Structure 1
Amino acid sequence: MTAVTPDQAAPRSLTVPLDRFYQYQLSERGLSAHTQRNYQRQLDKIVDFLTARGIAHWQDVDADWVRQISSQAKRDGLKPGSIALRLSALRSFFDYLVLTEQLAANPAKGVAAPKQGRQLPKNLDVDEMNQLLEVDQDDPLSVRDRAMMELMYGAGLRLAELVDLNVRDVSVRKGDLRVTGKGEKERIVPFSGMAKTWVMNWLKVRNQLLKGPEEALFISKLGQRISHRSVQKRMAEWGQKQAVNSHINPHKLRHSFATHMLESSGDLRAVQELLGHADLSTTQIYTHLDFQHLAKVYDAAHPRARSTEASKPRAGKKNNSES
Structure 2
Amino acid sequence: MDTSTESPLVERYLEHVRVERRLADRTVELYAIHLETLIANAAAAGLALEQVQTAHVRRWMAQLHSAGRESRGIALVLSCWRGFYRWLGHEGRVGSNPVQDVHAPKAGRPLPKALAVDEAVQLAQLHDEEADPWTEARDRAIVELLYGCGLRVGELTGLDLRASSTARGWVDLDSQEASVLGKGSKRRTVPVGAKAAEALAAWLARREDCTALPAARLRDPEGAAALFIGRTGTRLSPHAIWRQLRQRSLKAGLAAPVHPHMLRHSFASHVLQSSSDLRAVQELLGHASISTTQVYTRLDFQHLAKAYDAAHPRARAKEDGGKK
Task: Give deviations 1:213-271, integer Å, cap 9, x for gaps.
Answer: 31111001110000111100000000111111122110110000000000000000000
Partner of 2:125: 134
* 2:287 equivalent to 1:285: no
Structure-1 residue corresponding to 2:199: 198
1:167 corresponds in structure 2 to: 161
- Which ranges in structure 2 are unaligned for 5 or more consecutive residues? 1-15, 23-71, 74-102, 163-169, 218-223, 315-324
Work out the CA distance in 2 between the residues paired with 1:136 and 1:200. Answer: 16
Report the CA distance between 1:291 and its aligned residue. 2.4
Distance 1:135 1:119 in 2: 30
1:123 to 109, 114, 120: 114
Residue 294 (structure 1) shift:
3.8
The yes-or-no answer on 1:242 pairing with 2:252 is yes
Could you tell me which residue of structure 1 aligns to residue 78 of structure 2? none
Q: Distance in 1 between matches of 2:286 and 2:104?
A: 26
Q: C-alpha offsets along residues 264-320 of structure 1, whole Å, 9 cap, x if unaligned?
A: 000000000000000000000000014254458999xxxxxx9xxxxxxxxxxxxxx
- What corresponds to 2:240 in structure 1? 230
**2:156 alignment partner AA:** L
The unaligned stretches of length 5 or more in structure 1 are: 6-78, 81-111, 300-305, 307-323
The separation in 2 between residues aligned to 1:188 and 1:261, in whole angstroms, is 16
Aligned to 2:197, what secondary structure does the other structure show? Answer: helix
Q: Residue 39 of structure 1 corresponds to which residue in structure 2?
A: none
Matched, 1:144 2:138: yes
One-letter amino acid of the structure 1 residue matched with residue 227 of structure 2: L
Distance 1:115 1:142, change over 3 A: same
Superposed displacement of residue 142, structure 1? 1.0
What amino acid does structure 1 have at the position aligned with 2:280?
Answer: A
* Alpha-carbon contact 1:216-1:224 (below 8 Å) kept: yes
Scaled by the length of structure 1, what TM-score is found?
0.56
1:46-104 Cα deviation digits (max 9, x unpaired): xxxxxxxxxxxxxxxxxxxxxxxxxxxxxxxxx69xxxxxxxxxxxxxxxxxxxxxxxx
Structure 2: how far apart are the matches of 1:232 and 1:298? 35
Change in Cα spacing, 1:265 to 1:252, as seen in structure 2 (3 Å) is same
Aligned counterparts of 1:204 and 1:266: Cα–Cα separation in 2: 37
Match of 2:33 in 1: none
Distance 1:135 1:296, change over 3 A: closer
What secondary structure is seen at the aligned counterpart in 2 of 1:149?
helix
**TM-align CA RMSD:** 3.2
SS in structure 2 opposite 1:271?
A: helix
The answer to whether the 8 Å contact 2:245/2:259 transfers is yes
Q: Which amino acid aligns with 2:123?
A: L
Separation in 1, partners of 2:21, 2:206: 56
Structure 1 runs (4+) greater than 6 angstroms displaced: 296-299
Other-structure match for 2:149: 155
- Work out the CA distance in 2 between the residues paired with 1:113 and 1:172: 51
Counting only pairs closer than 5 Å after superposition, residues 16-95 of structure 1 correspond to structure 2 as none
**Cα deviation, residue 170, structure 1:** 1.2
Q: What is the percent sequence identity of the aligned residues?
A: 48
Equivalent residues of 2:246, 2:258 under 8 A apart? yes
Separation in structure 2 between the aligned mates of residue 140 and residue 295 of structure 1, nearest angstrom: 42
1:9-47 deviation digits (Å, cap 9, x = unpaired)? xxxxxxxxxxxxxxxxxxxxxxxxxxxxxxxxxxxxxxx
Instruction: Give the distance between the partners of 2:107 and 2:138, measured in 1 at CA.
Output: 38
- State whether residues 124 and 252 of structure 1, in contact with CA within 8 Å, keep that contact through their aligned partners in structure 2: yes
Distance in 2, Cα, partners of 1:295 & 1:235 = 30
Q: Which residue number in structure 2 is paired with residue 100 of structure 1?
A: none
How many angstroms does 1:184 deviate by? 1.1
For 1:185, the equivalent position in structure 2 comes to 186
Report the secondary structure of 2:208's partner residue: helix
Aligned to 2:26: none
